[in-house]
Amino acid sequence: MELYRQTISELRDLLDRKEVSVKDIVSSIYQRIDAVEEKVKAFVTITEDKALKMAEDAQKKLDSTEKQSSKSLLGIPISIKDNMCTKGIRTTCSSKILYNFIPPYESTVTSRLIEQGYVLIGKTNLDEFAMGSSTENSGFHVTRNPWDLERAPGGSSGGSAAAVASDECIAALGSDTGGSIRQPASLCGVVGLKPTYGRVSRYGLVAFASSLDQIGPITKNVRDAAILMNIISGHDPFDSTSAPLPVPDFTAVIGSDIKGIRIGIPREYFIEGMDKEIDTSIKDAIRKLESLGAIPVEVSLPHTGYAVATYYVLATSEASSNLARYDGVKYGLRAEGKDLIDTYMNSRAQGFGAEVKRRIMLGTYALSSGYYEAYYRKAQQVRTLIKKDFEDVFKVVDVIVTPTSPTSAFNIGEKTADPLQMYLSDIFTISVNLAGVPGISIPCGFTSNNLPIGLQLIGKHFDEESILKLASAYEQATDWHRRRPLL
């Protein structure tokens, strides 16, 4: 049995029946990494020594207890996107400015995984500071799509999505600011869930755009996403934006009947220029949901056309502010200069890549005197309109169904010369972050080139249960999620 191909729930069952040990599972994962990582390049840091120690500790706990909950992560190998702080383990954000940064504290999400007894396989590659849609903006190396090594895995959580798709871990955590979990999940043929803003603590997540960032799971199936959501969700006193709401058992809805659920089909998401194979797959998926009892309703989100522009004013403004802390003084890269200002300038010039510099300049311009009202404030007003669009639609439907990405995985280098084309890769995902609602991407087909296609399901605020229920029903009625790339 190839243990690296299993899901969280399958491994939980094997461990509880004492058919395998945690060390067997972890060894299987590292054998897989040895076989394919040179091609995929999903990781920035591989933590094998740490993982073996964690595996040993997990096995001791397993041996001393009768049986674990089916939702437990004890002994399960998981990878973490390299913008979440891991105490004593290098955390780089795939940026040269943080090349040797070792956090003195643990993020809340990884603390919760540690309490569960998970095994950290490694820290995954990303677009530098999570700014990008292809993982080509990493300060270290380009991650490749396991389905076609000449293509991008999407971004910014491309390393996490590629690691899950290529079975280099059982599951992973990513972060999503404008689609950075859902878009790479779509392009890599796995499940990616962006929770409601405030559902999961951001404490220890290195900030890109604080009003948009949210941590979520990337997994091989919907049940595993629900298992991870049970553990990472919940109020955190260290994060003032964390919602003080009870966490439901997200796994309870897996396999539930979806008869009578109203699904909104927004006309603005089925646009000219969208890949025909994607259009066909999404419409087939809607028909499948209808055959399972869902009721399709045509709806409108009229301000969708303003989402990309709004996002790139707000996100870059927040990035400009958040990244001011990287000045070469307290931590991170320090380049020498003839005085303090020169040190600042040299450190930032040498430490940041081109895309990060571009976004800092865009954000600084939008916030500058004389332009703040015209750009930043106007963008905030449009954001309110986009949020209201969703609120209005959710008065008549339960879940919104859209494509995740307008294209399948694109060639490496295809969009790097044209930032605007790259920014449009997130055209179907950005509105979800602006509105703060939850969204999930699940596999729903393949192109004629054998590239995955993703279906996006969008829910009401703090109603991850509805999108998980719908996603689970679709997944159980199809077998797209069972396909694996040949590496």
Assess whether 28 carries a catalytic annotation: no
Assess whether 156 carries a catalytic annotation: yes
The residue from 134, 138, 180, 431 that is catalytic is: 180
Distance, CA of 315 to CA of 362 (rounded, Å): 10
Kindly report the length of the chain. 487
Distance, CA of 92 to CA of 124 (rounded, Å): 10
The residue from 9, 21, 28, 81 that is catalytic is: 81
Cβ neighbours of residue 254 under 8 Å, at least 6 residues apart? 222, 223, 226, 468, 469, 472
Q: Are 390 and 437 in contact (CB under 8 A)?
A: yes
Distance, CA of 161 to CA of 126 (rounded, Å): 10
The residue from 95, 156, 347, 472 that is catalytic is: 156
* DSSP state at residue 309: H
Q: In the β-sheet with 77-81, what is the strand arrangement from edge to edge?
A: 43-46, 119-124, 77-81, 171-176, 214-219, 191-194, 439-446, 452-459, 399-403, 262-266, 295-299
CA 164 to chain centroid:
12
Of 127, 7, 117, 123, nearest in space to 68 by CA: 117
Amino acid letter, 128 = E
Assess whether 321 carries a catalytic annotation: no
Q: Which residues are catalytic?
A: 81, 156, 180
